[in-house]
Amino acid sequence: MKRVVFNQKGGVGKSSITCNLAAISAARGAKTLVVDLDVQGNSSHYLGYEPDQPGNGSVADFLDQRSGFFSVEKAPAEFVHATPFENLYLLPASPKLAHIEKDLESRYKIYKLRDALVELAKDYEEIYIDTPPNLNFYSKSALIAAEELLIPFDCDSFSLQALHLLLENVFELKSDHNQALEVGGIVVNQYQGQARLPRQLIEAMQGEQLPIYNTFLPASVKMKESHSLRKPLPHMAARHKLTLQFELLHDDVMEGRHLRVEDEPVEQEPAEQSA
Ligand SMILES: Nc1ncnc2c1ncn2[C@@H]1O[C@H](COP(=O)(O)OP(=O)(O)OP(=O)(O)O)[C@@H](O)[C@H]1O
Ligand SMILES: [Mg+2]
């Protein structure tokens, strides 16, 4: 399955959610690929990639290839790197993504990632795509290439507005370019069950019948620690509350389990109590 994690709002947890869901898929035995389309390269860094690592190149090198009279393009698999984690592979980002974006756009390369992922899906059971925090050439390429969209949501008052705009853009893109794209669900991140605003926002989304995954992710300092140690949560804190919630979220994503309109958002203890 090809899943894209996207929200044009910055800092909502796209990279954290991409890498941890991918790490869980991989730990459960599925050969898994993370594609990092964000020039910031946070997912690549998190999964242990060093930009000056010899060989292979990045997703930018793949997209930027030109086939000439005497040369053929290299297959996308040649740009994939192993990570330190079993079954988990990476098609890394690079600062070069910023420099080649306009050129790729003018050369109509918006479908190149889709075609590459059709090839790679023959070898990788689960593919997760991390995207930049704006609707640019790369996030559009990802939405065209994917079958399912996961939308991280951070329960902030601007988020609901951003979500409506996002859904409008996604439905337009779906009808013009990728009929196969489905909204898998909204991932509620950094949820504070005791505060009023997050509960009101969730109720508003339930009222609009938006598909919200059952399991909410609490805020925890373990997330930042996990980033700085460059180890996804299942490899760093296997029994921590946040990791366990990620495992449940992974099941929701695999099985398409959503909150029902009448469900109360689950009351959550702060994650640190079980650290
Ligand atoms: N559940 C969480 N608990 C605590 N901190 C979190 C949680 N989720 C994300 N964060 C922190 O919030 C910050 C933003 O997360 P992340 O980089 O995953 O978001 P993003 O949407 O990918 O950001 P960008 O839009 O810049 O790509 C990071 O510092 C991360 O450690
Ligand atoms: Mg990110």
Write out 154-204 in H/E/C secondary structure. CCCCCHHHHHHHHHHHHHHHHHHHCCCCEEEEEEECCECCCCHHHHHHHHH
Alpha carbon separation from 149 to 121, 170, 187, 274 (Å, rounded): 16, 9, 10, 31
Residue 2 has pLDDT above 90, yes or no: yes
pLDDT for 265 equals 66
Nearest bound ligand to CA 226? 1
The rounded Å distance from CA 12 to ligand 1 centre is: 6
Reported confidence tier of residue 69, pLDDT bands at 50, 70, 90: confident
Index of the ligand 1 atom closest to the CA of residue 16? 18
The rounded Å distance from CA 175 to ligand 1 centre is: 30
Reported confidence tier of residue 275, pLDDT bands at 50, 70, 90: very low
- Determine the structural domain holding residue 153 and report its residue range: 2-66+73-274
Per the prediction, the chain carries an average pLDDT of 94
Reported confidence tier of residue 273, pLDDT bands at 50, 70, 90: low
Q: What is the pLDDT of residues 72-119, one digit of tens each?
A: 899 999 999 999 999 999 999 999 999 999 999 999 999 999 999 999
> Using the 8-state DSSP alphabet, how is residue 250 labeled?
H
- The rounded Cα 34 to chain-centroid distance in angstroms is 8
Q: What angle do CA 249, 252, 253 make, to 5 degrees?
A: 90
Residue 264 has pLDDT above 80, yes or no: no
Q: CB of 12 closer than 6 A to ligand 1?
A: yes
Q: CB of 102 closer than 6 A to ligand 1?
A: no
Q: What is the pLDDT of residues 178-216, one digit of tens each?
A: 999 999 999 999 999 888 999 999 999 999 999 999 999
Instruction: Sort strands 81-82 and 182-188 into parallel, antiparallel or unpaired.
Output: unpaired
Q: What is the pLDDT of residues 135-168, one digit of tens each?
A: 999 999 999 999 999 999 999 888 898 999 999 9
pLDDT for 274 equals 44
For the chain, the domain total comes to 1
**Which CATH number goes with the domain that contains 179?**
3.40.50.300
